[in-house]
Amino acid sequence: MNPVFPIPDRIELFAVPGLGEIAPGDALGVALCNAVTQAGLAFEDGDVLVIAQKIVSKAEGRLVELASVIPSPFAVSLSESLDATPAKDPRAIEVVLRESRRIVRMDAGLIISETHQGYVCANAGVDSSNVPAGFLSLLPVDPDASAARLREEIRVHSGRDVAVIISDTFGRPWREGLTNVALGVAGLAPLQDYRGQKDEQGHTLSATVIATADELAAAAELLMGKTARRPAVVIRNFPALPGSGSATGTGADLVRPREKDLFR
């Protein structure tokens, strides 16, 4: 677990405008650096770049054409029995099953599964929004590796050491609405551990570990929107421990191991 950052008095967030369409094979880090420059902005050391999973998946070619998918008998059966409106395409269900290593709940028209990366989310992160018609997007195979690559690309192209968070909006039990969370993390401690520290009254804090990377992702989403072409946001003046690299942890640390989880 990681120590606690110094707490900043003030932070600011700004969206990276004008990124444009990203296609499989595009150098996303270079495109980001160019978009930042064209907007009259510049990366600074210690910035946190939060980027939506969808655009990373596009750059990495993590798209599946529905027409190429042959649904299994189980996917066809689910398509008929799941109480979804509109009914789910059995080919889309097949893609969800392929991205899943385990089903957690299957009810109310929803498939909530554990992905091969370990995330628990609806439809294994498979999504049809903001991708070409007839295609579905998949989560990056290894979001931490994607974040590390993107960070290195930005370092090479801009000379700046930024932390990178690849985010996606996930639902959660008990509360309405989705919030943005961190999938891949590079150059930033994802968790801050206050255990053993003392509060104002000298009381030792026993159970407080804050998911900082998820809070950074959530903050960035406020500037993303879902229909605007604004998939990248920079958070400035947050002490993200630049340069400490992978020693500070990755997004995988945010995934609770199944044996510690009371809700799987």
Residues 114-143 that bind a second copy (CB under 8 A): 119-120, 122, 128-133
Q: What is the three-class DSSP state of 205?
A: coil
Q: Which of residues 11, 23, 87, 145 is near a second copy by CB under 8 A?
A: 11
98, 155, 157, 264: which one binds a second copy (CB under 8 A): 264
Report d(CA 4, CA 162) in Å as an integer.
Answer: 19
Closer CB to a second copy, 152 or 194, in the complex: 194
Binding mask 156-185 for a second copy (x = CB under 8 A): -------------x--xxxxxxxxxx----
Residue number, 8 or 243, with CB nearest to a second copy? 8
194 binds a second copy (CB under 8 A): yes
Q: In whole angstroms, how close is the CB of 53 to a second copy at the nearest point?
A: 14
| Residue numbers 72-111 binding a second copy by CB under 8 A | 105, 107-108, 110
Do 241 and 189 form a contact (C-beta atoms < 8 A)? yes
Please list every residue from 203 through 262 that binds a second copy, using CB under 8 A: 203, 205, 207-212, 214-216, 218-219, 221-230, 238, 253-256, 260-262
Beta 209-210 vs 63-65: how paired, if at all? unpaired
Helix, strand, or coil (residue 49):
strand
Total length of the chain: 264
Compute the least distance from the CB of residue 71 to a second copy, in Å: 20
Q: Are 56 and 22 in contact (CB under 8 A)?
A: no
Q: Among candidates 22, 15, 112, 98, which has minimal Cα distance to 59?
A: 22
Please say which residue, 156 or 228, places its beta carbon nearer to a second copy: 228
Tokens of 72: 């299994």
Whole-angstrom CA distances from 93 to 80, 137, 229 are 11, 13, 27
Nearest residue (CB) to a second copy, 25 versus 172: 172
82 or 209: whose CB is closer to a second copy?
209
* Residue from the set 7, 67, 70, 247 that interacts with a second copy by CB under 8 A: 7
CA of residue 9 relative to chain centroid, distance = 26
Is the link from the previous residue into 86 a cis peptide, with omega within 30 of 0?
A: yes
